[in-house]
Amino acid sequence: QVQLVESGGGLVQAGGPLRLPCAAPGTILRVNTMAWYRQAPGKQRELVASIAGDGKINYADSVKGRFTISRDDGKNTAYLQMNGLKPEDTAVYLCNFYILRTLTFTPYWGQGTQVTVSS
């Protein structure tokens, strides 16, 4: 079983920044798409941002211009830089990696990290 490790969540005032890293174990040979999702109470989980193995990036419309996703393949780590945070960004943020296992890429999830933005 692969365990992704997230960190960086916390309480921040509106307008402030946070940076969320998510790391896979060093024994992983290859990661394809790395993504961040979020889930607020009473709402469905939604995709925030993703970065494919070829570098192609997608953002949810609600975070475009404020959030930046990046990856360091040497460290099997993805980062979500969040600037200009708003109270509506409050949620549990979860990372999702497609990791090469035997001959296929299998999705794995982190445990989630709470981000709370105060107004």
Per-residue pLDDT at 29 exceeds 80 = no
How far is residue 30 from each of residues 51, 56, 92, 98, measured CA to CA in Å?
14, 16, 26, 9
- DSSP bridge pairs for 109: 96
Each residue of 54-95: pLDDT tens digit?
Answer: 999 999 999 999 999 999 999 999 999 999 999 999 999 999
Q: Region 11-22: what's the mean pLDDT?
A: 98
How far is it, in rounded angstroms, from Cα 74 to Cα 71?
9
Helix (H) or strand (E) holding 75: none
Pairing of strands 10-13, 113-118: parallel
Per-residue pLDDT at 28 exceeds 80 = no
